[in-house]
Amino acid sequence: MVHYFLEGGAFMWPILLTLIFGLGFVMKEPTH
């Protein structure tokens, strides 16, 4: 998995960062 991200980093990293940011935002701001 990590090797796959390293190989296609230019395209995959922005998506990975977006997912992490999204999860962090959801965790910080719980929906009521």
- What would the pLDDT profile of 9-28 be if each residue is shown by its tens digit? 677 778 888 999 999 888 88
Looking at the domain assignment, is residue 31 inside a domain? no
Overall domain count for the chain? 1
Looking at the domain assignment, is residue 30 inside a domain? no
Give me the pLDDT at residue 5, please: 63
Looking at the domain assignment, is residue 1 inside a domain? yes
Burial 1-32 (b: 16+ CB within 10 A, else e): eeeeeeeeeeeeeeeeeeeeeeeeeeeeeeee
Looking at the domain assignment, is residue 12 inside a domain? yes
The parent domain of residue 10 ranges over: 1-25
Q: Which DSSP letter does residue 15 get?
A: H
pTM above 0.85, yes or no: no
**Residue 32 pLDDT class (50, 70, 90 cuts):** low
Report which of residues 20 and 1 the model is more confident about: 20
Give me the pLDDT at residue 13, please: 79
Give me the pLDDT at residue 12, please: 76
Looking at the domain assignment, is residue 32 inside a domain? no
